[in-house]
Homo-oligomer: A and B are copies of this chain.
Amino acid sequence: MDVAQLFSTRARAGVDPELAIILAGPPPGTLGMTGGFPNPATFPSEELAEIAARLVQDEPGLALQYGPSAGLPSFREYLVERVTHLEGREPALDELMVTSGGMECLDLLCRSLLDAGDDVAVEGPTYLGAIMGFRDYGARLTGVPMDADGLEVAWLRERLESGYRPKFLYTIPEFQNPSGRTLTLERRRALVELCREYGVLIVEDVAYKELSFDGSQLPSLWALAPDVVVQAGTFSKVFCPGTRLGWAVGPAALIAQLSSAKGGTDQCAGALSQRLVEEYGRAGHFGRRLPHARALYESHWVALSAALARHMPEGVEWSEPTGGMFTWLRMPEGLDARELRPAATEAGVAYVPGSPFYVDGGGANEMRLSYSSLDEAQLGIAAERLAGVIQSVPSAARR
């Protein structure tokens, strides 16, 4: 039997090979600025050891059993409190559910909203996993251009005025993956008004929101307009990815549908993970731990930023993140980040080329640099190596 002959249309379409390259990790011997993995130094292992042992021993009937698809009641109640604290707006219990991480939330949204051929608007560039996920459901993707202030709302308005009607707009307002940019407050207000006017649902991914270097934060899109926004959150960056947990907050009818869809995937998020995060959070550990994570990423960025400024040749630009773990680097026109990759590997540095992050072309001369995993000294060396690779291209090759 040739099982590949049985594959569905979507399976035959395959996946972007860039994702496999990212997941395989940086080539041996290179300093990797590739992945978006959080730094393990931010993981709360001491606090968790005690909590995990206690939960498994004291409440196996809850923490080790199946749970409701929407999440354990006590954890949902905790999440309501947490979201209220973070957002300054209290969701109703039926406006919130537990997910098995941020990507799973996007998948539940696709199941619940997308038929093949539906339009979806994303940022250009945007998260590679989201592009793949949306394409998997046959969505037609349109990239909304970005500048230093985030996605260009005026551009989207023009398109909507011309009759464009996406099922939803997917955006990462803070320290965006991959660009590191943050949507300004003015644009946030304009965006939710625009989407309300045209009946476009906003899917707001707040994966990095709590990782601002200075601890400050702008109001989320959901807080500004809970009627037209569903927020996808994850504990992967502020707690750890190993427990596969996130949340969705949005209109009750949509949350009910997402919960129902979850019954057909993993049925429920792990109860042990849910109780771990709940106990961790109720003990106040987020408030104690997060400042350390913010300081770590800031210190990494300061190091990378200084090294880029010192080593990069003229004509190379990069974004100035105020949180999160990414910067977006643009080389002079004519250079191609994919073509430079062998030379970069040779020089001992790794990055992710920019073009896969765009749904409609472009980005050949751009790249994503992650500063989450390497330490300050390594980031300095990595930047110097990368600068050397870029400088090694004969100027004749540049347009």
Is there a chain B Cβ closer than 8 Å to A9's Cβ? yes
Of the residues B6, B100, B112, B264, contact of A100 by C-beta under 8 Å: B100
Per-residue B-contact encoding for A49-69, CB less than 8 Å = 1, 0 else: 110111011001101111111
* Complex alpha-carbon distance, A288 and B46, angstroms: 30
Complex: chain B residue closest to A66, CB-CB: B241
Question: A201 near B: Cβ within 8 Å?
Answer: yes
**A270 / chain B contacts, CB cutoff of 8 Å:** 242-244, 270, 273
Contact in complex: B100, A266 (CB < 8 Å): yes
Cβ of A43 within 8 Å of any chain B Cβ, yes or no, is yes
| Chain A 253-264 per-residue mask, 1 if CB under 8 angstroms from chain B, else 0 | 110010011011
Instruction: Output the least CB separation between A102 and chain B (Å).
Output: 9
The verdict on A11 contacting chain B, using a C-beta distance below 8 Å, is: yes
The yes or no answer to A86 lying at the interface (CB within 8 A) is no
Question: In the complex the two chains form, is B260's CB within 8 Å of A7's CB?
Answer: no
Interface size on A, residues (CB 8 A): 83
Task: Provide the bound-state CA to CA distance between A312 and B196, in Å.
Answer: 61
Does A352 reach chain B (CB closer than 8 Å)?
no
Known: A8-B111, A263-B15, A264-B129. A40 touches B23 (CB 8 A): no
Interface string of A266-301 (1 = CB under 8 A from B): 111111110000000000000000000000000000
Nearest chain-B residue to A52 (Cβ)? B52
With a CB–CB cut-off of 8 A, which chain B residues contact A191? none
Q: Is the CB of B23 within 8 A of A69?
A: yes
Indicate if A337 sits at the interface (CB-CB under 8 A): no
With A49-B57, A132-B263 as known contacts, state yes or no: A1 contacts B196, CB within 8 Å.
yes
Q: Is A103 an interface residue (CB 8 A)?
A: yes
Which of chain A's residues 97-141 have a Cβ closer than 8 Å to chain B? 100-101, 103-104, 107, 111-115, 118, 129, 132-133, 136
Known: A15-B260, A104-B265, A273-B273. 20 other contacts (CB 8 A): A1-B228, A8-B114, A9-B115, A11-B261, A40-B60, A40-B65, A45-B60, A48-B64, A52-B53, A53-B53, A63-B242, A65-B241, A66-B236, A67-B242, A100-B244, A129-B267, A132-B263, A266-B266, A270-B270, A270-B273
